[in-house]
Amino acid sequence: MNGLENELESLQNEGLERTIRTCSNVPGKPGYTLRKDRLLLNLSSNDYLGLAQHPKIIESMRDVLLLEGAGAGASRLITGNRGPYDRLEESLAAWQNCEAALVFANGYMANSGVIRALAGRGDVVFSDRLNHASIVDGIVMSRAEHARYRHNDMEHLRHLLNKYRDRPRKLIVTDAVFSMDGDQAHLREIAALKREYGAMLMVDEAHSGGVYGVHGEGLCHELGLHDEVDVHMGTFSKSFGVYGAYVTGSRTLIRWLVNKARPLIYSTALPPAIVAGIGIALELVQAGHERRQYLLSASKLFRSSLGNAGFQVAEGNSPIVPVIVGDNHTALRFSEMLETDGIAASAIRPPTVPDGTARIRFSLTEAHTEQELIDAIAKICRVGHQLGVLET
């Protein structure tokens, strides 16, 4: 088909072909997954607070499913905006201590839709090189100038802000926690630059919502910076254990998005049962301080143990712990050998990460016990030695 087979073959030869494999839920064991009937410790899930199986969430979804039916039947602007939506958005605005909130079908649609709504031809979007693909795609679709700054390089950001200082509308966008590296954006410096240059600031809290802040509000709240952020975005697919996404900010912002965000306008609303489940997940996230504390201390132990063993581990204070192995084939082999040893941990390769930095991206959940992690570390080290990633 027009050379696609040849291109796929070369992707495969370079160790870059992506495949979809089937995994099943293990009832009562949120830290595990089943693959080909084998029970695997799941070190590749974003269900950070272990809520995906929470009985209260499932119960509320089942109740609303019976009442409201399987699907919303239309976009939110037509007849898809069912009761649970309004309640949820009120609770989200209160949680984030801001004027208003808007729920989107998922994080990809939220990021791409919001950026496209806020920037257009002649405007500039300043974006960290390691920002999520949904941000990059939003910028490309917006037709605004894409000013990519080197990862967390504030001098480079300043240089670009200077270069484009006369543009009518400037938007700085950053992940709060970077999804493939697990490190944090330099939000204090970014907020200061935003003020200095009169730009808007959008922060993606996909991996930090639920994980930081006394009530899980995210990294911006934890750092006391939430008032500096014009557009606060996060997903319900990770710490919330469900699906969907939110944007919070001023009433004007939300009114603007209702009129301009194309994924909201032109796509069917989330099923009401999902929205109801998110509402319960929000209560659990807010009350989940102990879960957060355990998750972060377990992640610290996991990260430092792998680092001390000699692995090249990216620095950070998050449940995302990448072990960089460099070569694509080695990363794939590493992942396969871990699976044989009872661990699900994905190999992440270019173009998701820069060339030569293929890695195993471990992500932890609150559901993992310390003993499970200690056993996993021993297995990871054994495979590291066998593959020559660790020196013997």
Residues that bind ligand PMP (CB under 6 A): 106-108, 111, 132, 134, 175, 179, 204, 206-207, 235, 237, 245
Is 146 among the residues known to form the active site?
no
Return the number of the residue (52 or 390) whose C-beta is nearest ligand PMP: 52
φ/ψ of 193, rounded to 5, equals -65, -40
Q: What is the DSSP string of 118-187?
A: H--TT-EEEEETT--HHHHHHHHHHT-EEEEEPTT-HHHHHHHHHHTTT-S-EEEEEESB-TTT--B--H
For the CB of residue 301, give the shortest distance to ligand PMP in the complex, in Å.
Answer: 24
For the CB of residue 199, give the shortest distance to ligand PMP in the complex, in Å.
Answer: 20
- In the bound state, the residue with its beta carbon closest to ligand PMP is 107
Return the number of the residue (135 or 144) whose C-beta is nearest ligand PMP: 135
Return the number of the residue (45 or 235) whose C-beta is nearest ligand PMP: 235
Is 179 among the residues known to form the active site?
yes
Q: What is the DSSP string of 334-345?
A: HHHHHHHTTEE-
Return the number of the residue (93 or 180) whose C-beta is nearest ligand PMP: 180
For the CB of residue 209, give the shortest distance to ligand PMP in the complex, in Å.
Answer: 10
Distance CA(183)–CA(195), nearest Å, equals 24
Catalytic residue among 60, 127, 134, 179: 179
For the CB of residue 165, give the shortest distance to ligand PMP in the complex, in Å.
Answer: 28
Return the number of the residue (95 or 240) whose C-beta is nearest ligand PMP: 240
For the CB of residue 381, give the shortest distance to ligand PMP in the complex, in Å.
Answer: 28
Catalytic residue among 170, 238, 239, 318: 238
Distance CA(139)–CA(131), nearest Å, equals 11
Catalytic residue among 54, 132, 207, 221: 207
Token pair in block for residue 136? 């990059």
Is 151 among the residues known to form the active site?
no
Which whole-number Å values give the CA distances from 79 to 58, 281, 314, in the listed order?
25, 25, 47
Helices (H), the chain: 4-13, 55-68, 83-95, 107-118, 133-142, 154-163, 187-197, 219-222, 251-260, 262-265, 272-286, 289-308, 328-340, 370-386
Return the number of the residue (244 or 384) whose C-beta is nearest ligand PMP: 244
260, 245, 249: which is closest to 110 by C-alpha?
Answer: 245
Return the number of the residue (131 or 305) whose C-beta is nearest ligand PMP: 131
Block residue for tokens 């209260």: 56
What lies within 8 Å, CB to CB, of 151 at 6+ separation is: 128, 129, 130, 178, 181
For the CB of residue 134, give the shortest distance to ligand PMP in the complex, in Å.
Answer: 5
For the CB of residue 111, give the shortest distance to ligand PMP in the complex, in Å.
Answer: 6
Distance CA(156)–CA(161), nearest Å, equals 9
Q: Exposed e or buried b for every residue in 335-374, given b needs 16+ CB within 10 A?
A: bebbbebebbbbbbbeeebeeebbbbbbbbbbbbeeebbe
Distance CA(84)–CA(105), nearest Å, equals 14
Supply the residues annotated as catalytic.
Answer: 179, 207, 238
